[in-house]
Amino acid sequence: MLKAGQRKRALYAVQLLIFHLPWKRRKQLQHLLHFLHLVVDDIFVSVDKRVTNYEAVLRDFLPIIFKHPLVSDETQKILFDFLLLKSAVVFNIPPYLQKIKESGLHFAILFQWKI
């Protein structure tokens, strides 16, 4: 979805996935992404003299957070970049997405046509 430019739909999908994480893991991921976002945006501190902070964060944290043999490196990078830049929005789960978890798959099937 992110490759096809369907950012709104991708945001809903990521929010729903994050909402299904156990609350402790969700908070850990939220804090980690917030910290990494601060590191990437910091112009006064360089974590590696040879590359930008963004490249260093990508190099060091992408394999830890998203490494999966069935997902291409490019797709992992796109998802990580999306989460890093949109972390504040991603963790703000709208109430109608919360209902999907409560109502189950039937509601999710009906909801997909409204996006």
How does residue 43 score in pLDDT terms, banded at 50, 70 and 90? confident
Q: How confident is the model at residue 96 (pLDDT cuts 50, 70, 90)?
A: confident
User: What percent of the chain has pLDDT above 90?
Assistant: 17
Q: With H, G, I as helix, E, B as strand and everything else as coil, classify residue 20.
A: coil
- Residue 31 pLDDT exceeds 90: yes
Angle between helical axes of 73-85 and 23-41 (0-180°, round to 10): 80
Could you tell me which of 92, 58, 50, 56 has the C-alpha nearest to residue 78?
58
Percentage of the chain exceeding pLDDT 70:
79
When pLDDT is cut at 50, 70 and 90, the band that residue 80 belongs to is confident
Mean pLDDT of 23-34: 92
pTM: 0.72
Q: What mean pLDDT do residues 19-30 have?
A: 90
Burial class of residue 50 (count of CB atoms within 10 Å of its CB; 0-12, 13-18, 19+)? exposed
pLDDT for position 24: 94
Q: Which two tokens stand for residue 61?
A: 């944290």
What does the DSSP assignment read for 38-102?
HHHH-SS--S-SSS-HHHHHHHHHHHHHH--TTS-HHHHHHHHHHHHHTHHHHTS--HHHHHHHH
